[in-house]
Chain A
Amino acid sequence: MSFPWANHYEPQHPFMRYMDEKLPLPRFIYNAIGGGYPVPRNLNYFWNFGVLSGAALMLQIITGIVLAMHFAANSGVAFDSVEHIMRDVNSGWLMRYAHANGASMFFIVVYVHIFRGLFYGSYKPPREVVWLLGIVIFLLMMATAFMGYVLPWGQMSFWGAKVITGLFGAIPVVGEPIQTWLLGGFSPDNAALNRFFSLHYLLPFVILGVVILHVWALHIPGSSNPTGVPVKSEEDTVPFHPYYTAKDGFGLGVFLIVFATLVFFAPNFLGEPDNYIKANPMSTPANIVPEWYFWPFYAILRAFTFDFFFVPAKLLGVLAMFASILLLLFLPWIDTSPVRSGSYRPLFKKFFWFGLVPCIIVLGYCGGSHATNGVVLVSQLASVYYFAHFLIILPIVSRIEKTLPLPNSITESVLGAPAVA
């Protein structure tokens, strides 16, 4: 795109030339993920996860469309229709387990993708819009996943819907009317199930749209790389195809091995047994927990146990949970370090690997556990660190840190400096 040495699309076959004149879709693809997109030659395996996220999205859309052919969005029969899929529909068990575990795989690869961005400073200019669109995708994913989890109408579906919409009830004055409006009733029932199904079908296509914007915005400056040093010459890049299509093919293979292991041999490993019990508005499960990918945020939500003057703890928890995600939107302006890649930022690196990563793992553990006092205390301490890391430590580190010398170019980082040789 913006690189003058990028390969040009030259259709050979007369039909392709005709297509190029009338509907230049092949040219568009060539420039997006074909030979026409020059990519830094030094990307490591962390850079596979963008393509894998896209693959996971497609997987969810395809299996989802198939499941929608058999699912009945009615609170009277939804649970039974899922069992109908599992027992009677041809390969139905495969579709459903692929969709349920596909959601987990989607979050796994997106989380690695986000952490790649956090460590290598991918959010920094000139890619801040790519980052912002990424956060939008993440928020849409969370909404979609939440609504999808309600559809089987099991105990966790029902109580998850009740608890999460209850969060809106924390907002002063308008909270309860909003909750009632969201559910179309005073408790989750048919109205809620139907609208969640409708939106669960719609949102993935919205996500797809934002993904296209995300990739488009990426193609303006081009991909970042592990050194964070900008591309300087043609030698620094390779065409996306065949170099990165081959590497992404390998990444996809590994992804599918992990995915198939879950689907075929441990399909309920990441699920909650309670969701195999039909929703019962009269009985609450002993421990309401969301799916694993929400655990860190759930831990932050539960960490607020005391009112603060006139602000109730419940509202604080909700605010903090939303803030914990929304603060990522401001990251490009909070982190002012001129060096992009964490590899050349010794202090940042320490806080990242010994602070942020363990903090989120601990939050995840706490979010999935029964909320005893000990668990609450640990999640409070981890939440303190979470907010401090992004909002206090990061700006200070950017200011005081003495960064390491950067390589002169991407090629030099791969092949070594000429002087050394």
Chain B
Amino acid sequence: MAAVETDATGAGHEEDGVRRRDFINLAATSFAGVGAVAIALPLVNQMNPSADVLALASIEVDISKIPVGSAIKTEFRKQPLFVRHLNPEEIKAAEDTKVDSLRDPQSLEDRTKGKKEWLVTMGVCTHLGCVPLGAGAGELKGEFGGYFCPCHGSHYDTAGRIMKGPAPKNLEVPEYAFASDTVIKVG
């Protein structure tokens, strides 16, 4: 080995030899470190959603059979999704509310996609994730006629906005679009 030669040739070159030796040891150790990180990455990444889970990430919902004034509960990303066909009174109630006075100021227009009668929200209370009541037939709708979360008493209005109770935000509106007049594509 070259290093051995340098070491042996005398005191003048000794420092070079030491520097070279330190460099090689440092390089080997750094490589080991880089290798360990390269191995750690897939070990961490494997916990992310797998391909089959991501494949279910977008769904199509047929809304043609939802009568005015009622709602359906369906499943999106293993969580409940509410699709509500608002009646004119509900739309009016939502529009009459002053946006500025709200905890999470949003108008009905902000929360729908052009068609004000269709309110699509996640059925997940923004407080701690319970499923609010109000989508199923005969369920409590809370003081504001929208949704009511029984866990800690959050009341949502007919636009799914938080009006009263501990929840900090309005019910989340997922990414969606109207694929046709009767079908929405969520996700």
Contacts and interface: CB of A to CB of B under 8 A. Distances in A.
A84 B51 CA distance: 9
Contact of A90 (B28, B32, B50): B50
Lowest 9 CB-CB distances: which A-B pairs, in order? A91-B42, A88-B51, A88-B50, A88-B52, A89-B50, A90-B45, A90-B46, A91-B46, A90-B48
A69 interface: yes
23 contacts: A66-B43, A66-B46, A69-B46, A69-B47, A70-B46, A70-B50, A84-B50, A84-B52, A88-B50, A88-B52, A88-B53, A89-B46, A89-B50, A90-B42, A90-B45, A90-B46, A90-B50, A91-B42, A91-B45, A91-B46, A94-B42, A246-B25, A249-B32
Interface string A78-91: 00000010011111
A285 to B, nearest CB: 30
Interface in B28-67: 28, 32, 42-43, 45-48, 50-53
A87 B48 CA distance: 14
A66 B48 CA distance: 12
A62 interface: yes
A92 B46 contact: yes
Interface residues of A, number: 16
Central interface residue in A62, A69, A88, by most chain B CB within 10 Å: A88
A92 B45 contact: no
Interface of B: 25, 28, 32, 42-43, 45-48, 50-53
Nearest to B55: A88
Nearest to B54: A88
Given A66-B43, A95-B43, A249-B32, 13 more contacts: A62-B43, A69-B47, A84-B50, A84-B52, A88-B52, A89-B51, A90-B45, A90-B48, A91-B43, A91-B46, A92-B50, A242-B25, A249-B28
Classify the interface of chain B: helix, strand, loop or mixed: helix
Classify the interface of chain A: helix, strand, loop or mixed: helix
Contacts of B48: 90
B76 to A, nearest CB: 20
Interface string A229-253: 0000000000000100010010000
A95 B42 contact: yes
Nearest to B39: A62
A417 to B, nearest CB: 23
Nearest to A91: B42
Interface of A: 62, 66, 69-70, 84, 87-92, 94-95, 242, 246, 249
Contacts of A70: 46, 50
B79 to A, nearest CB: 20
A414 to B, nearest CB: 16
B51 A95 contact: no
Contacts of A91: 42-43, 45-46
Contacts of B43: 62, 66, 91, 95
Contacts of B32: 249
A69 B42 CA distance: 14
Contacts of A62: 43
B36 to A, nearest CB: 11
B160 to A, nearest CB: 34
Nearest to B43: A66
Contacts of A84: 50, 52
B87 to A, nearest CB: 43
A87 B42 CA distance: 15
B90 to A, nearest CB: 42
A70 B49 CA distance: 11
A242 B25 CA distance: 10
Contacts of A89: 46, 50-51
Contacts of A249: 28, 32
Contacts of B47: 69
Contacts of A94: 42
